Amino acid sequence: MAFDFEMIKRVYAGMHSKVEAARKTIGRSLTLAEKILFSHLHRDQPLQNFERAKTYVNFAPDRVAMQDATAQMALLQFMQAGRPTVAVPSTVHCDHLIQAKVGAKEDLDTALSVNKEVYDFLASVSNKYGIGFWKPGAGIIHQVVLENYAFPGGMMIGTDSHTPNAGGLGMIAIGVGGADACDVMAGLPWELKWPKLIGIKLTGKMSGWTSAKDIILRVAGILTVKGGTGAIIEYFGEGADSLSATGKATICNMGAEVGATCSLFAYDDKMSIYLRHTAREDVAAAADAIKQHLRPDDDVYANAEKYYDQLIEINLDELEPHVNGPFTPDLAWPISKFAEAVKANAWPEKLEVALLGSCTNSSYEDITRSASVAKQAIDKNLKAKAEFTITPGSEQVRYTVERDGLLDTFDKIGGVVLANACGPCIGQWARHIDDTNRKNSIITSFNRNFAKRNDGLASTHAFVASPEIVTAFAIAGDLTFNPLTDKLKNENGEEVMLDEPAGYELPPKGFAVEDPGYQEPAKDGSNVQVVVNPESQRLQLLAPFSEWEGTDLKGLRLLIKVKGKCTTDHISMAGPWLKYRGHLDNISNNMLIGAVNFFNEKTDLVKNELTGEYGPVPVVQRAYKEAGIGSIVVGDENYGEGSSREHAAMEPRHLGVRAILVKSFARIHETNLKKQGMLALTFADKEDYDKIQEDDTIDILGLADFAPNKALAVVLHHDDGSSDVISAHHTYNEHQIEWFKAGGALNIIRRKFAK
Ligand code: SF4
């Protein structure tokens, strides 16, 4: 089920009629993103005129990919659905939990022992439910997906922000939270706000030191970290077709850094060649046969301004290599201006560590071009002055570059090869540094460079550049060096220059791998036991939430009246709590600890109405739960904004909170609450927020007639014997009301499969 060519054939078979129908309905030519979106509408979603409508639309993605950290709760929830197998081909990738410390082998061994219970769980749950499992060391999710699963014209969701990497093979691939992944694997539709479109026309052709990374570094400088929000970015033009598929993937990967929903390139010969080199001749042939649907209509290229909300043009003939940073990926410096910026801002000039790799830049092309720079260091008697690490993106790439002698080249200039995993890119890096407060500089070919991201140190200035520029800087050890113009002094005291990098898009001898690290799921998983140690502190099997009792909710206590901003991070904090993300009861000890209590302006200190004493929010809520008393959380505007983390909805549900009543919700969080069987309500009159008093006992009435667009009554019984009756709105549709009644959306699916 992990790789499913039959599925791809089905998608392609249906594409023609769906694209034609959409073109007819809309009455104009279509961009590529529109063709893919229209051909993935969920069967329950009528084809309407979506053009520029700010509509939430139901889709049916073809695939799901999950990384090991986020897969845990997604799969624990999926188990609640009671399905024998996942509804769409899905994979799990063990890449985020491996800490880089010494080198590939030792670090992998340590991770296997430290994370054993998580890996055992993920391997067994994958085996049982038809999910492809990529073991620790197999590679980074996005590189493995590109090499094995991405296909032109497809739609995928993945529980990781850089899922859009697969746009390099012409796929709409979008990063989501675990709850969305769970829904799609369970067979539910997936909802997305119809995106805006940004067109980026690439003219000319790159040469010399410039590479695909520099295109996205330049785009980040233009759009900034928010400029792509809610949009799909489509690249086109002669410059687009000249880029390798992996170069395209680099650009799509970092679209996440401008906030884009995803990024996309049209199907071309480069993609066809890549598919054939990665043992997918059948997919290439099938894509060739429907090529016209895997590229925009002709008029889109001819009159691009008519089709895109925003249009940007970049001339690759003139594009310089870029270095972006520090602390944000949109601070873009052309290399000719970078040294000046380093000096003007007093950033540490000495480069301490150069890090090559990550899901963004670890293709064969990246590594050969970087190795060509490293080889010159050997030939010209130069030594790498900075520490230098190399993270291959997959075992297939690692094995192939080792076979071709490239790892040996890095080794000769002091490079250390790390495990095929995220490592320093996600802060899994035991960095050796004498003084953690000393301002210092590092450069990476990764994507994100926010403070503390790589090594947890606020003092580290992290810059982002292409792999070949990172390698040149590793050799120079100095951020004011410009490899295009400057000379370096070698071991003999002679001045030498580095020549332009050269490499291969794809291995001339083909890819090779001995053990790719893949576990095929059982054909029939019905007898496979999912491995979870009942004593585990990191994993806990979920029990289904209970159904609605069929009555109004009376006698609820006010747990907290939140003042001001309350993001999902205030509701379920990250940091040290992330290790419990597979253990609902343990992680619930962070519930709402970041929210400010209206009555005392303090965080994590609320009144326990049973004792009259103040205590931490989770402790007080557990006391209510134990006493069999429901509670309610009251919130301000845009409650639950931020990441889509499902824990923020599951924790209150688990601890017995019955309703969240706020001035307004962030939409994704509101939906997550509904999916968990919670009541998500808004004040009909926002000023009623002021009527909520600390000692109130609260009733929610009208649930027997719970219906779309029908308000519920909320009675506030105040401590002085008086009361207020206020009105609460909701946005539940018929389906969602059924979720509430059943105690959660997954309970409904489970009932269906239990029949
Ligand atoms: S390599 Fe970095 S960006 Fe890529 S998936 Fe891992 S943590 Fe995310």
In short, whether 447's Cβ falls inside 6 Å of ligand 1 is yes
In short, whether 240's Cβ falls inside 6 Å of ligand 1 is no
Angle between helices 245-253 and 141-148 (to 10 degrees): 140
Q: For residue 743, is it left (φ>0), alpha (ψ between -120 and 50) or beta?
A: left
| Separation between Cα atoms, residue 732 and residue 272, nearest integer Å | 45
In short, whether 426's Cβ falls inside 6 Å of ligand 1 is yes
- The pick from 68, 91, 92, 95 for probing ligand 1's pocket by mutation, whose C-beta has the most ligand atoms within 8 angstroms, reads 95
B/e letters for 308-333, b = 16+ CB within 10 Å, e = fewer, are bebebebebeebbbbbbbbebbbbbb
Q: For residue 339, is it left (φ>0), alpha (ψ between -120 and 50) or beta?
A: alpha
Measured CA distances, 135 to 146, 183, 378, 419, 616 (Å): 17, 24, 35, 12, 39
Measured CA distances, 618 to 236, 585, 743 (Å): 52, 11, 22
- Contact assessment for residue 454 and residue 123, using Cβ atoms and an 8 Å cutoff: no
| Separation between Cα atoms, residue 678 and residue 682, nearest integer Å | 13
| Separation between Cα atoms, residue 755 and residue 751, nearest integer Å | 7
The DSSP line for 229-260 is BTEEEEEESHHHHTS-HHHHHHHHHGGGGGTB
B/e letters for 524-548, b = 16+ CB within 10 Å, e = fewer, are ebeeeebbbeeebebbbebeebeeb
Q: Is 695 helix (H, G, I), strand (E, B) or coil?
A: coil
Measured CA distances, 227 to 186, 223, 312, 419, 453 (Å): 33, 4, 12, 34, 22
Other Cβ atoms less than 10 A from the Cβ of 599: the count is: 18
Q: For residue 671, is it left (φ>0), alpha (ψ between -120 and 50) or beta?
A: alpha
Element (DSSP H or E) covering residue 475: helix 467-476
Provide the residue type at 334 as one letter: P
Element (DSSP H or E) covering residue 443: strand 440-444
Residue closest by Cα to atom 7 of ligand 1: 426
Query: SS3 sequence, 172-234?
Result: EEEECCHHHHHHHHHCCCEEEECCEEEEEEEECCCCCCCCHHHHHHHHHHHHCCCCCECEEEE
Q: Which residues of the chain have pLDDT under 70?
A: 1-3, 48-54, 755
| Separation between Cα atoms, residue 3 and residue 151, nearest integer Å | 11
| Separation between Cα atoms, residue 480 and residue 501, nearest integer Å | 19
In this predicted structure, what is the pLDDT of residue 235? Answer: 98
- Contact assessment for residue 739 and residue 674, using Cβ atoms and an 8 Å cutoff: yes
CA of 358 to the centre of ligand 1 (A): 6
In this predicted structure, what is the pLDDT of residue 47? Answer: 76
The DSSP line for 61-86 is -SEEEEEHHHHHHHHHHHHTT--SS-
How many CA atoms does the CB half-sphere of 375 hold within 13 Å? 15
CA of 321 to the centre of ligand 1 (A): 22
In this predicted structure, what is the pLDDT of residue 48? Answer: 66
| Separation between Cα atoms, residue 368 and residue 735, nearest integer Å | 53
In this predicted structure, what is the pLDDT of residue 53? Answer: 55
Q: Which of 70, 75, 36, 42 is nearest to 56 (CA)?
A: 42
Residue 643 a catalytic site member: yes
Query: SS3 sequence, 337-361?
Result: HHHHHHHHCCCCCEEEEEEEECCCC
Residue keyed to tokens 């950290």: 69
Residue 160 a catalytic site member: yes
| Separation between Cα atoms, residue 571 and residue 593, nearest integer Å | 7
Residue 557's contacts (CB-CB under 8 Å, 6 or more residues apart) are 609, 624, 629, 630, 631, 632, 697, 698
CA of 461 to the centre of ligand 1 (A): 19
| Separation between Cα atoms, residue 232 and residue 195, nearest integer Å | 6
In this predicted structure, what is the pLDDT of residue 1? Answer: 45
- Contact assessment for residue 639 and residue 689, using Cβ atoms and an 8 Å cutoff: no
CA of 140 to the centre of ligand 1 (A): 7
pLDDT 10s digits, 178-209: 989 999 999 999 989 899 999 999 999 999 99
pTM above 0.85, yes or no: yes
Indicate the average pLDDT of the chain: 95
Return the ligand 1 atom nearest residue 165 CA: 4
Residue closest by Cα to atom 2 of ligand 1: 425
B/e letters for 505-520, b = 16+ CB within 10 Å, e = fewer, are bbbeeebebeebbbbe
| Separation between Cα atoms, residue 83 and residue 644, nearest integer Å | 24
Other Cβ atoms less than 10 A from the Cβ of 405: the count is: 10
Angle between helices 281-289 and 269-277 (to 10 degrees): 160
Annotated active-site residue in 62, 107, 160, 180: 160
Q: Is 600 helix (H, G, I), strand (E, B) or coil?
A: coil
Residue keyed to tokens 């959306």: 745
| Separation between Cα atoms, residue 225 and residue 218, nearest integer Å | 12
In short, whether 128's Cβ falls inside 6 Å of ligand 1 is no
Residue 448 a catalytic site member: yes
CA of 448 to the centre of ligand 1 (A): 9
